């Protein structure tokens, strides 16, 4: 199910920023020359479909893919305007880095970028952990939104080892 976020209610959270700084994690927009490296990181963790969406986000101007980097290593990513304008996602954090606030930091920073771009609302398409999005940014479910824009989507016939 998709979820809706009121971007005009969001504010930066200094506590999240401090937590990232204390861990040496930087959240920033990806650079076009990083496309291959980010794609190679995403594919085994989240699948080729998410690589396709990240590629679209990384080719937008401004780039609509943010990454979390710690000591030169990619820890997570978040995109917007990838599958549809006004949509947040895909997003993912390395399994070993979960529980450290990186996902929440990526979510908030990405949604704030959307607000800066002039969006009043964001749709989280096919939201996985709904309680996380409700707690983190006040997202609310959009009734009747499943399968939504993903209805009839073609899928690769080659397995990528990651379930969708």
**What is d(CA 22, CA 15) in angstroms, rounded to the nearest whole number?**
10
Burial class (CB in 10 A: 0-12, 13-18, 19+), 20: buried
Residue 126's domain spans which residues?
A: 3-150
pLDDT the model gives residue 160: 56
In a domain, 155, yes or no: no
- What count of other Cβ atoms lies within 10 Å of the Cβ of residue 18? 10
In a domain, 129, yes or no: yes
In a domain, 122, yes or no: yes
User: Per-residue confidence at 164, pLDDT binned at 50, 70, 90?
Assistant: very low
In a domain, 157, yes or no: no
Between these two residues, 21 and 126, which has the higher pLDDT value? Answer: 21
- 161 pLDDT more than 70: no
pLDDT the model gives residue 32: 96
User: If you average pLDDT over residues 148-163, what whole number do you get?
Assistant: 71
In a domain, 15, yes or no: yes
In a domain, 33, yes or no: yes
Q: Where are the beta strands (DSSP E) in 63-157?
A: 65-70, 73-80, 87-93, 121-124, 140-141
Read off the CATH number of the domain in which 34 is found: 3.40.630.30
User: If you average pLDDT over residues 81-110, what whole number do you get?
Assistant: 96
Between these two residues, 76 and 150, which has the higher pLDDT value? Answer: 76
User: If you average pLDDT over residues 67-83, what whole number do you get?
Assistant: 97
Percent over 70 (pLDDT), the chain: 95
In a domain, 42, yes or no: yes
In a domain, 145, yes or no: yes
User: Per-residue confidence at 134, pLDDT binned at 50, 70, 90?
Assistant: very high
pLDDT the model gives residue 80: 98
Say what the pTM is.
0.92
pLDDT the model gives residue 23: 97
Tally of domains within the chain: 1
User: Per-residue confidence at 163, pLDDT binned at 50, 70, 90?
Assistant: very low
């Amino acid at each position: 199910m998709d979820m809706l976020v009121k971007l005009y209610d969001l504010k930066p959270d200094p506590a999240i920023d401090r937590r990232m700084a204390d861990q040496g994690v930087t959240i920033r927009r990806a650079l076009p020359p990083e496309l291959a490296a980010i794609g190679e990181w995403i594919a085994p963790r989240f699948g080729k479909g998410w690589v396709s969406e990240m590629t679209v986000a990384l080719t937008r101007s401004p780039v609509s893919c943010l990454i979390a980097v710690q000591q030169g290593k990619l820890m997570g990513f978040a995109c917007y305007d990838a599958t549809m304008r006004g949509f947040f996602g895909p997003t993912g954090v390395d399994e070993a880095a979960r529980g450290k606030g990186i996902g929440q930091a990526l979510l908030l920073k990405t949604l704030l970028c959307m607000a800066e771009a002039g969006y009043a609302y964001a749709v989280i398409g096919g939201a996985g952990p709904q309680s996380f999005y409700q707690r983190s940014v006040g997202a609310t479910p959009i009734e009747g939104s499943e399968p939504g824009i993903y209805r009839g989507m073609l899928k690769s016939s080659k397995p990528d080892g990651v379930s969708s």
